[in-house]
Structure 1
Amino acid sequence: MKRENIPKHIIAVSAFVTNENNEVLLVKVQWRSDTWEMPGGQVEEGEALDIAVAREVLEETGLVIQPIGITGVYYNATKRILSVVFKAKYISGEIKVPPEEIKEAKFVELNENNIEKYITRPHMRSRTLDAMYAKNTIPYETWEVDPYNLKGRLF
């Protein structure tokens, strides 16, 4: 395959984070202020997905999380964005948002009856519901090769 024919895709991650009251962490991004959504963002080159989602949540909300596993993988064919949703556990911190990126962040009591009040975009709503009702997560591993070295595993 010629170098110029290598597909170009963006990989994004987001986290379904719940607190001790089973409330869900949602953010309102400055440039998408018509909807709430799970916190997350773009994976940096060479960054492991579980590390990226923890970094993005910390940057957007000031909260430390622990990724548990993947609840879904979604593809935006228009913008060529592969989105990976993690279930994650709140560990520590107080909500602090960077105003240049995040308009607001908060934990909300979210369910099927009120989700449309918060999450107005259907593709974001479906992935949130998938994460909310996922009984299990799928495994995720980060590897280095030459030599083989397992860097991390979630299951």
Structure 2
Amino acid sequence: MEYEQPKHLVSVSAFVKNEKGEVLLLRTHWRSDTWEMPGGNVESGEPLDVAVCREYLEETGIVIQPLGITGVYYNATKHVLSVVFTAEYVSGEIIIQPEEIQEARYIALNESNIDQYITRPNQKSRTLDAMRARAIIPYETWEVSPDYNLLSRLGYTANNP
């Protein structure tokens, strides 16, 4: 039997709150029945932290700073690995690309009202995990050839154990 290279997609999204504690969520044209965290697919060779910043900016007009990971999820039907970051707002105002995004806004989301916004169980579980996260999972990007070179590290640092 001949070896076949695995084919998986990787997607990223980010959980971001404003100064009032509201969460930035959006609805897309192809999933207009639910609200979800902004994000999208990682491009070939793109570090995940760079991808989540790019996708967030493309979908919302908001610049973010990822802090770490709150969860990793797998869609076995479509072979998509989804990584959810928690991030801080840096700058920008909500500006959407109307061909892709139907609506984006900050929502006072909590466990008692989540069902009126997030209708898909896979989106609900990852949002709840991000809301409940007490610790974040570190994330690193490395170049390993020819030498080992740490490009970025999120999560635990010397100043943030």
Scaled to the shorter chain, the TM-score interval is over 0.9
For residue 13 of structure 1, what is the aligned residue in structure 2?
12
Residue correspondence of structure 1 range 2-151 to structure 2 within 5 A: 5-145=4-144, 146-151=146-151
For residue 153 of structure 1, what is the aligned residue in structure 2?
153
Query: What is the identity, as a one-letter code, of the residue corresponding to 1:151?
Result: L
Q: Any runs of at least 4 consecutive aligned residues in structure 1 with deviations exceeding 4 A, and if so which?
A: none
Kindly tell me the number of residue pairs found equivalent between the two proteins. 154
**Sequence identity percentage:** 68
Give ranges in structure 1 of 5+ residues lacking alignment.
Answer: none
Q: Distance in 2 between matches of 1:108 and 1:44?
A: 29
SS at match of 1:110: coil
- TM-score, length of structure 1 as denominator length: 0.97
Greater share of helix:
1
Q: Deviations over 1:95-119 (max 9, x none)?
A: 0000000001000000011001000
**Deviation, structure 1 residue 61:** 0.2
**Deviation, structure 1 residue 147:** 1.3
Q: Distance in 1 between matches of 2:20 and 2:140?
A: 30
**Deviation, structure 1 residue 21:** 0.5
Query: What is the identity, as a one-letter code, of the residue corresponding to 2:44?
Result: E
SS at match of 1:71: strand
- TM-score, length of structure 2 as denominator length: 0.94
Q: Distance in 2 between matches of 1:138 and 1:113?
A: 26
Q: Distance in 2 between matches of 1:101 and 1:20?
A: 27
Give ranges in structure 2 of 5+ residues lacking alignment.
Answer: 156-161
